């Protein structure tokens, strides 16, 4: 382990505990099962509470399953967060973050809707993105029924879900039917070149743990399918390629200094600043991809930053 000594000391002995996936030798279905099994004990906890619904999906597509995490606050209407789970867009379920989203709903007073979007390679781009966008449209249309303030809806996602959150914000801007008050991108996966020979940068201190270059290349190939470089939708597949970032809502991006996505996240934040989009960027020293899932003082700090950031994005100004 070449970069282990750079990892936060309180997390150093556990960074290898995440489910591993070697795309050259391992079965994707086994990786998906490992991720699902890792949430079983959490879902049996009294601290986790959510409501499951099935809503209309994109045109000619199946219904979309969503999980609703309700705040205990009863002063309606409440703000809302559309949340998109991680897993490289090839794995994961909304249940993975059930504990985090239960807590976040209580701490922010927001209704959180987490989307069970279709995964690649079975459903390549834009299937998963359209599922997420369908959930956003549903949330807007049902805002009054759900007790939600339609002017205070934001998108949020981690890792591959951060990519879909960014792409959803771009779709919302361009389709003009679902205004957003913010986007919160947690170590988002934004540039399909990362980990490959065409990567704009490739720092060897990044990407050794949790999500590797090999995993990233495999995931992007699965999600991309046969989409051509010059396809008009390419910037929605990989938001790093979207030429125009103006008109997006206030943004918060967090990442780790040892995360494979560090440089693409910093670059995206820089481009948002150039496009006059109010953007906060936090890069946590000694943090690997997914660091906030390991109990430590560093994780506690990141959780406070998330809660504070969400409150700011949802605040009425």
- For the annotated catalytic residues, the residue numbers are 159, 259, 289
Q: Which of 251, 115, 100, 233 is nearest to 175 (CA)?
A: 233
Bond into 77 cis (ω within 30): yes
Angle formed by the axes of helices 127-141 and 160-175, to 10°? 60
SS3 of 184, please?
Answer: strand
Give CA–CA dist 117/130, Å, rounded: 8
**In the chain, at which residue ranges do the beta strands (DSSP E only) sit?**
51-55, 64-69, 78-84, 111-116, 148-158, 182-186, 251-256, 279-284
Nearby residues of 226 by Cβ (< 8 Å), 6 or more positions away: 124
Left if phi > 0, otherwise alpha if psi is -120 to 50, otherwise beta: which for 48? beta
Long-range contacts of 210-213 (CB under 8 A, 24+ apart): 210/15, 210/18, 210/288, 210/289, 210/290, 211/88, 211/159, 211/259, 211/260, 211/261, 211/289, 211/290, 212/260, 213/260
Nearby residues of 291 by Cβ (< 8 Å), 6 or more positions away: 8, 11, 256, 259, 284, 298, 299, 302
Give CA–CA dist 222/54, Å, rounded: 26
Give CA–CA dist 134/145, Å, rounded: 17
């Amino acid at each position: 382990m070449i970069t282990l000594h750079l990892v936060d000391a309180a997390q150093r002995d556990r960074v290898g505990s995440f489910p591993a996936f070697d795309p050259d030798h391992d079965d994707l279905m086994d990786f998906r099962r490992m991720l699902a099994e890792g949430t079983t004990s959490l879902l049996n906890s009294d601290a986790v509470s959510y409501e499951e619904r099935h809503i209309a999906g994109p045109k000619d597509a199946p219904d979309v399953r969503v999980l609703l995490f309700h705040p205990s606050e009863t002063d309606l209407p409440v703000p809302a967060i559309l949340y998109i789970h991680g897993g490289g867009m090839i794995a994961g379920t909304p249940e993975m973050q059930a504990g985090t989203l239960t807590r976040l709903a209580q701490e922010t007073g927001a209704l959180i809707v987490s989307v069970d979007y279709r995964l690649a390679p079975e459903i390549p781009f834009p299937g998963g993105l359209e599922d997420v966008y369908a959930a956003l449209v549903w949330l807007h249309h049902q805002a009054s029924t759900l007790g939600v303030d339609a002017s205070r809806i934001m998108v949020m996602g981690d890792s591959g879900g951060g990519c879909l959150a960014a792409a959803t914000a771009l779709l919302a801007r361009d389709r003009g039917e679902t205004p957003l008050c913010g986007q919160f991108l947690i170590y988002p996966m934004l540039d399909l070149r990362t980990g490959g020979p065409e990567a704009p940068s490739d720092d060897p201190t990044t990407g050794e743990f949790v999500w590797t270059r090999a995993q990233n290349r495999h995931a992007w190939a699965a999600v991309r399918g046969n989409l051509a470089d010059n396809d008009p939708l390419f910037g929605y597949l990989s938001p790093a390629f979207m030429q125009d970032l103006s008109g997006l809502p206030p943004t918060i991006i967090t990442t780790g200094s040892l995360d494979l996505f560090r440089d693409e996240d910093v670059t995206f934040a820089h481009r948002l600043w150039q496009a006059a989009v109010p953007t906060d960027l936090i890069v946590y020293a000694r943090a690997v991809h997914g660091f906030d899932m390991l109990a430590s003082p560093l994780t506690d700090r990141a959780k406070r930053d998330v809660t504070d950031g969400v409150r700011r994005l949802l605040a009425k100004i």
